[in-house]
Structure 1
Amino acid sequence: MHTRSPRYAALILFWLACVPLAAWAAPPTPDPAKLAALEAAIAAEDIKQVTSVLLMVDGQIAYEHYFNGASADTLHDVRSASKSVTAMLVGAAIGDGHLPGVKARVYDYFPEFTATHPVDPRLRATTIEDLLTMSSLWECDDENAFSAGNEERMYVTERWLDFALALPVKGFAPWMTRPQDSPHGRAHAYCTANSFVLGAVLERATKMPLADYAAQALERPLGITASRWNRSPEGIGMGGGGTRYRSRDLARLGALVLAGGRWQGKALIPADYVAAMVSAQASTGDGSDYGYQWWGLKLPVQGHETTLWAMSGNGGNYVFVIPDRKLVAVITSSAYNRNYAHPQSRRILTGFLLPALD
């Protein structure tokens, strides 16, 4: 899946929406030698702290293995991969009418805050899409320890929502790229507060706790019967990280995206929203694409740099969705805050799983 033209994206969207999982043919059998090599690398700790690897092709599980004490019933803490689920819930809320669309203004959902706090007009115009694409004008950057909105500063406050809504306007030093000069017209900065506020917006719009809406809109329809969502100190669902799912259920979430938001004949998320979610909406500092809380990673596949869309979380937790191969790959790992975590999980995909299908 190389860089896509609008026409190609439209064809992919049509294919995703029209081809049900049940209609797909039997998946190819992965090369057992490649999978044995993967298991040997994990056993020898050449690949460390991986807890599960699952490969779904054509809607069927082609490979599934658990490591380091995990099992099919383990609820894996997927950290920031939760952000991608929150983005899916935003799409579901648009589809069921709870949200009017991605251009809805964020501060409108918190009138008690705006009644007592002055808000810069530029921030007052912040939209749901700004949060989805990590391109709000809040001075918030989790990769900058000095940033006013760094997630670690939020975590030690009593009221996370007030912390986020009161963040100052971002300034752009001479060496920084301004939004108008950035790819897609957005200056991306990874900010967990964006995702947390999205969860708070969902709670206001649906009048339900985030975990309850997730169960109603996505989890129960997908047959997901076990999950765990965190909450902030003031009781707001944490849409930015720490959600726990079983590996097979992560695969179901990926399969829903692969199917254009449809599951068993019902549209759980609008197809056009899914297409936008896994299309380049911004560009990150490392050159990756960024959609609606989904990553478009540039990875080597068969000797060519290829954009692969994924949920991604600290520790090397991933759900990859590859439409042209009808493939979902789940990798869970507990290598939190380890510099080898993400490279080794990406290596599992590009060095073992995809070659096993070639």
Structure 2
Amino acid sequence: MSRRWLAVPCVLFPMIALAQDAFAPATAAVEQGDYKAITSVLVSQDGKVVYEHYFDEGGAEARRNTRSATKTVAGILAGLAIADGKIAGKDARIFDLLPPARRARMQNPDPRKDAITVEDVLTMSSLVECDDENQFSRGNEERMYLVEDWVQFWADLPVQGFPAWMPKPKDSPHGRSFRYCTAGVTTLGEAVQTAVGEPLQDYAQRRLFAPLGIEKPEWQFTPLGLAQAGGGLGLRTRDLWKIGQVYLDGGRAGGKQVVPAAWVQASLSAQATAREEADYGYLWWLMKVPVGGEVRTYPAMAGSGGNTVFLLPDKRAVVVITTTNYNERQPHLLTFKLFTEKLLPALK
């Protein structure tokens, strides 16, 4: 496959030429299939793209299915709605934000469900029984896709039980029991939409995408027409970079504060422990990455297939990797290996 480097005369920009040389091993490894179906890689440092390569026919203008990286966008929109005074704060109760019919029709009513907050959903730690990583869970996302009303699906779930071998929230790190739940973030999307009084996709365009110069995002919608905050948003590789860059820069872009700095800081701080190799912020993964004999925390937007946006504060860098490795075993591991084996060593 032919190489598609940035169309910049390298003779005029020797630093770009040097950067391309440093990433040549990454290009070769991806092209020979070492990491399966990688579709694009972009690396920026100090706010400038130093490497950009497309490995499929879609090229730079293709809208990449970000899968669950969309959830990070939902978390940003929740923060913006709080900043706009449309949501009282992270402790606002989800059912107070949803249309009243949600509570009125709720199955398995429980005061503990009424108490679920925006922060509980942002940290994947609400008390409803929802776990995408457990095929037996009543709230597993594959069950959600079988019904028409995805938000009511979440609202109807029972409260999670904690048998003796499962730590209760009060005994867990950060006082939260992490269980990955797409249905909860889908519900957060409707909560934000109801609070701001406009379709979620319009609010996202006005408050986030337009200020970042992101055009024509391709949303997926639930059967009832709600923009799906839980996954599937189509964005260009450079759009993903812009979202990562604004968070790396503390919420600023184009000389303006696009996302409140305090929300960025809270989002990128450990709010729950997801697994041994990762904590969790507000719909951001906080990956623990071994670098030169030590472990560093790199926040990440992540979606199935291994689609990932890494933030590297210590290197002032953003790394975007898109893939179609949906049917591969451990696709996130393929992305992680590309990141640690080829891309990190190329960054000075």
> Under a length normalisation based on structure 1, what TM-score does the superposition of the two structures give?
0.89
The equivalent of 1:117 in structure 2 is 106
Pair 27,133 (structure 1): closer, same or farther in 2 beyond 3 Å: farther
1:307, distance to aligned residue in structure 2 (A): 1.3
The equivalent of 1:11 in structure 2 is none
Secondary structure of the corresponding residue to residue 135 of structure 2: coil
Question: 1:141 and 1:27 mapped to 2: Cα distance?
Answer: 47
The equivalent of 1:239 in structure 2 is 229
In the TM superposition, 1:78-97 aligns within 5 A as 78-97=66-85
Pair 163,339 (structure 1): closer, same or farther in 2 beyond 3 Å: same
Question: 2:298 and 2:147 mapped to 1: Cα distance?
Answer: 36
Secondary structure of the corresponding residue to residue 270 of structure 2: coil
CA deviations on 1:11-60 (whole Å, 9 max, x unpaired) are xxxxxxxxxxxxxxx98876545411111111211121001000011111
1:285 to 275, 278, 300: 275
What amino acid is aligned across from residue 84 of structure 1 in structure 2?
T
C-alpha RMSD of the superposition: 1.6
- Does residue 310 (structure 1) correspond to residue 303 (structure 2)? The answer is no
The equivalent of 1:59 in structure 2 is 47
The equivalent of 2:58 in structure 1 is 70
1:105, distance to aligned residue in structure 2 (A): 0.3
- Number of aligned positions between the proteins: 333
1:61, distance to aligned residue in structure 2 (A): 0.5
What amino acid is aligned across from residue 75 of structure 1 in structure 2?
R
- Does residue 218 (structure 1) correspond to residue 185 (structure 2)? The answer is no
Question: 1:305 and 1:28 mapped to 2: Cα distance?
Answer: 29
1:173, distance to aligned residue in structure 2 (A): 1.3
In the TM superposition, 1:164-183 aligns within 5 A as 164-183=154-173
- Does residue 47 (structure 1) correspond to residue 35 (structure 2)? The answer is yes
Task: Decide whether the 8 Å contact of 1:281 with 1:291 is kept in 2.
Answer: yes
Question: 1:298 and 1:35 mapped to 2: Cα distance?
Answer: 23
In structure 2, list runs of 5 or more residues that go unmatched.
Answer: 1-13
The equivalent of 2:286 in structure 1 is 296
In the TM superposition, 1:120-159 aligns within 5 A as 120-159=110-149
Moved more, 91-100 or 214-223: 91-100
Identity %: 47
> Under a length normalisation based on structure 2, what TM-score does the superposition of the two structures give?
0.92
Secondary structure of the corresponding residue to residue 40 of structure 2: strand
Pair 170,300 (structure 1): closer, same or farther in 2 beyond 3 Å: same
Question: 1:211 and 1:236 mapped to 2: Cα distance?
Answer: 9
Task: Decide whether the 8 Å contact of 2:19 with 2:51 is kept in 1.
Answer: no
Pair 72,180 (structure 1): closer, same or farther in 2 beyond 3 Å: same
